[in-house]
Structure 1
Amino acid sequence: MLLNINTEQWQLQWQQADAELAVVKGQSISASVWRKDIAAATHWLSEQDGDALLYHRDWYHFSVWLFALLNSKKRIVLPANDKPATLSELSLHYSFRVPSELPQHASSEAPPLTLNGSLNSQLTFFTSGSSGKPKAVRKTLRQLWLEVITLEQTFAEQLGPANILSTVTHQHIYGLLFTVLWPLAARRPVTLPLVDYPEQLQQILAKANRQRYALISSPAHLQRLDNLPQLAKYSHSLATVFSSGGPLSNSVPEDFAEHELNAPIEVYGSTETGGIGWRRRNPGSNENFQTLAGVDASCNHNGLLVIQSPYLNNPQKPYTTEDKARLQGQGDFQLLGRQDRIVKIAEKRVALNEVEQFIQRHDWVESAKACVLHSPRVELGLVLILTPEGVNQLSTQGRFKARQELRHHLLQRFEKVVVPKRFRYVQQLPYNGAGKVTQTDLQALFEEE
């Protein structure tokens, strides 16, 4: 590790001034150029007051401004996106936004081999939650660096000197940790730009030669990998795959195993908690999560997972998650789904989790999400990803008969008045940049006739 931490300070140190930092479309970027750009950005920030909003799609520009802000001891606000409505909602949280372009620097200046700063530097993330309204979550750099150290201790053997590929944004805590802080601290180059399509991943692996890659991804992307037979030809170039941000469908580890690829490493946690546990569902392995080092797990009287963790704002205080769990032994636990999201339909209480889990028992349904619709009346809507059999039945029988069949299945468990009447069939669920599916995004699918 190139990262050193003492009581109040962190330090990144390079032994080689021109060590490879990133690879952009085949062109290497050195750490010395990166540090020069940080020095110039730090100088620009010396004339700015207040908290800074940092949003940049480009990994390199983002990383330069991030470390310039940390060196300048500025508090950093990280929005999920830069849509006008988002920035308007967050306007009270920041004083200025960093420029999209980097300042010019004097080429004759020799950049320092060491970057350092305070562990108390604060970053504010925004999660959409179930309602879609941004919720501020503040973290210190100490929490993030401690998690980076744990990730390296846990997964260094699987990664080795692999280059990092990513499908996820660095604006969220998962992407920030796995594609910015961890690679820089462990000196693993990041290959850019982001991988948006399965074909891009295949092309990179095909040209890998002896280079190995680690893919940082999400359930939404991994469920769209329809070229696993082709990727299997280059399995020697794919060191490992990480997934986080939401539950990974059972079909993904099964598909990886069918094509003799190691299943993704699933990392469970949240913006509030940081990483909690991990698992890899290869053939013959169980489905339990193992806690990350330093995390203690228990369950309360409602069956909800309770943790104590160095990645929390208060490491000594137990934190109750919204996930049901069953402890399976020392440090192992099984997730049983989110705690019931209870809503009222026609004065009847119904749990959205229960509706989703029951419809998924039908042979036609791969996965499902329920939402509350308010127009023209208050009722439930169901957004479904169908199995191949379900797709065939929908095509041959039509929407009316398919809906009748699915409603008949639901009527075996639920009263008629609460059973959804409106269905949407999609190829993928509307995950946001954080890998979450919000009620707002689900409801939007029913507004499109």
Structure 2
Amino acid sequence: MTALLKHWLRHGPASQQLISFNHHDILTGEAFTAQVAAIFEALSQHKAKRWLLACDSSDLFAVGLCAGLLAGKQLILPANTQSGTLSELTHEFDAVLADSPLCEAKDYVALHKDLKHPGPWPTSQTFGELILYTSGSSGQPKAITKTLDQLDAEVTVLEQTFANHLPQCSVIATVSHQHIYGLLFKVLWPLAASRPFLSDLVEYPETLTYYANLFPNLCLISSPAQLSRLPDALEHQPQLRAPSLIFSSGGPLSLEAANAIAHCYGKPPIEVFGSTETGGIAYRRQQNNQQSWRAFATHEIKQDPDDGALWLKSPYLESSDWLRCDDKIQLIAPGEFVLQGRLDRIVKIEEKRLSLVQMEALLESHPLVDQAALVVLEQPRVQLGAAIRLSAEGNTLLEQEGKLAVNNALKQHLLSQFERVTLPRRWRYPAELPLNTQGKRIHKELLELFTHD
């Protein structure tokens, strides 16, 4: 099986292929073709090359995505449509393809349900490309270009690896299609493999239960942050109807959460490890605390002998050369490894270099701490801020003895590896760390925790 996505995009869906659904509507291949043809015509007649693509509904997003790729356009996918995000990207696109104008100063082609065009599925000699944005270690967005060849390679490998687990499956997701994980797992892979997807985002456990009861075979695309909270919503009770398969990506899932999901749904999720830049690298199902990751069959990996960095060769990459990643691994067998944290996020505090990843890991080893996030604060001078989600024991100490006692206990713990001048000067203890739907920390909101003393 090769070129699964490219073959589908060249020929289009069968007229009776069920593309998407929600609780009151379905979209067939025939209607989808008419919508794609209408947008393709509008884009082909427009001189703009770079188009911002954003839409809440996954079916309309897929219409814009297919039409843009077939029209040879460059599609810019913002992480969200917040005004600050769009203003940062305003010089990166010439026009907007969305369900609302978003930017008044830019030309706009509307995505809406009533699009119709009598023509057949559009043909194309040159496909367009996608540009996604990921936050670098500094928190600034970094542009990542994805060609159709790269996306096709990943979709094809996903089908080869997991198709046997997905008989006649429908796909629903709690994550956005504007990010690489949701884009691949919720939209592109289901389209190419003729699996219908839910056009809406699943935001509540009740919605998940509704669809699990409705469909005998269901594939859930979710994230560690959401899956960690789900067992509480299900009251930690085994469910009569469960998804056939659950995927998790965006960060490592705790063993506790994996076991809790297995208790409710019968088996733990399949976790996929990767990034916007690399695509999927490896996958696992957790059985123990040091569960190893298995690289996809098409990939080559090796461990840097000096610092343990992961080196990767993958058909998802633009180059056939080895790529050094910022993840530290321990290679335990060919294609099999254990993650040992990140190697980047090196900062200078008081002219001394330190690893934020290392300090966060040390904080999280303390019984008072559940999760820790460090940020570099620039005012009134360069210093560290620590945002800590406390454990039950930590919250008890905070209530009984106050913030200073918790601060001092954690500082004393950090002195085992770090010099006093490098320790965080400002501490915050929110009930939850700010995370997006992909389970990634929101850098801007972390900084806002330190706006007021």
Partner in structure 2 of residue 41 of structure 1: 39
Bigger CA drift: 267-276 or 115-124? Answer: 115-124
Alignment equivalent of 2:228, drawn from 215, 223, 230: 223
Counterpart contact for 2:238–2:265, Cα < 8 Å: no
Counterpart residue identity of residue 313, structure 2: Q
Partner in structure 2 of residue 331 of structure 1: 335
Is it true that 1:420 corresponds to 2:424 in the alignment?
yes
Counterpart contact for 1:25–1:193, Cα < 8 Å: no
Does the residue aligned with 2:388 lie in a helix, a strand or coil? strand
Bigger CA drift: 256-265 or 28-37? Answer: 256-265
Does the residue aligned with 2:315 lie in a helix, a strand or coil? coil
Offset from partner CA, 1:378-426 (integer Å, 9 cap, x none): 2221112222232333233332222222222223332222222322223
Distance in 2, Cα, partners of 1:293 & 1:243? 19
Is it true that 1:266 corresponds to 2:271 in the alignment?
yes
What is the alpha-carbon root mean square deviation over aligned residues? 2.6
Please report the TM-score for the alignment, with normalisation by the length of structure 2.
0.89
Counterpart residue identity of residue 278, structure 2: T
Distance in 1, Cα, partners of 2:139 & 2:299? 29
Does the residue aligned with 1:215 lie in a helix, a strand or coil? strand
Distance in 1, Cα, partners of 2:193 & 2:123? 15
Counterpart contact for 1:9–1:117, Cα < 8 Å: no
Q: 5+ residue gaps in structure 2?
A: 100-109
Partner in structure 1 of residue 20 of structure 2: 22
Q: 5+ residue gaps in structure 1?
A: none
Bigger CA drift: 377-386 or 28-37? Answer: 377-386
Offset from partner CA, 1:207-241 (integer Å, 9 cap, x none): 32x52221111122222224364575436431121
Is it true that 1:213 corresponds to 2:222 in the alignment?
no
**1:345-356 aligned within 5 A:** 345-356=349-360
Please report the TM-score for the alignment, with normalisation by the length of structure 1.
0.90
Counterpart contact for 1:21–1:29, Cα < 8 Å: yes
How far off its partner does 1:137 sit? Answer: 1.0
Partner in structure 2 of residue 161 of structure 1: 168
Distance in 1, Cα, partners of 2:376 & 2:111? 45
Partner in structure 1 of residue 362 of structure 2: 358
How far off its partner does 1:329 sit? Answer: 0.7
Offset from partner CA, 1:261-312 (integer Å, 9 cap, x none): 321211111111111111110x359511111121100122321100111100
Counterpart contact for 2:271–2:285, Cα < 8 Å: yes
Bigger CA drift: 139-148 or 93-102? Answer: 93-102
Counterpart residue identity of residue 402, structure 1: V
Partner in structure 2 of residue 303 of structure 1: 308
Distance in 1, Cα, partners of 2:401 & 2:210? 40
How far off its partner does 1:66 sit? Answer: 0.9
Counterpart contact for 2:227–2:261, Cα < 8 Å: no
**1:46-195 aligned within 5 A:** 46-49=44-47, 50-100=49-99, 101-102=110-111, 105=115, 109=118, 112=120, 117=124, 120-195=127-202
Counterpart contact for 1:53–1:78, Cα < 8 Å: yes
Counterpart contact for 1:220–1:429, Cα < 8 Å: no
Is it true that 1:197 corresponds to 2:195 in the alignment?
no
Counterpart contact for 2:290–2:338, Cα < 8 Å: no
Distance in 2, Cα, partners of 1:374 & 1:253? 38
Q: Closer, same or farther in 2 for the Cα pair 1:261/1:397, shift >3 Å?
A: farther
Q: Closer, same or farther in 2 for the Cα pair 1:48/1:380, shift >3 Å?
A: same
Counterpart residue identity of residue 39, structure 1: A
Distance in 1, Cα, partners of 2:333 & 2:115? 56
Counterpart contact for 1:3–1:185, Cα < 8 Å: no
Counterpart contact for 1:127–1:271, Cα < 8 Å: yes
Counterpart contact for 2:238–2:264, Cα < 8 Å: no
Bigger CA drift: 364-373 or 174-183? Answer: 364-373
Counterpart residue identity of residue 176, structure 1: L
Counterpart contact for 2:225–2:438, Cα < 8 Å: no
Counterpart residue identity of residue 77, structure 2: L
Q: Closer, same or farther in 2 for the Cα pair 1:63/1:232, shift >3 Å?
A: farther
What is the number of equivalent residue pairs in this alignment?
Answer: 440
Distance in 1, Cα, partners of 2:406 & 2:97? 52
Distance in 2, Cα, partners of 1:320 & 1:173? 20
Counterpart contact for 2:53–2:76, Cα < 8 Å: yes
Counterpart residue identity of residue 166, structure 2: L
Task: State the identity as a percent.
Answer: 38
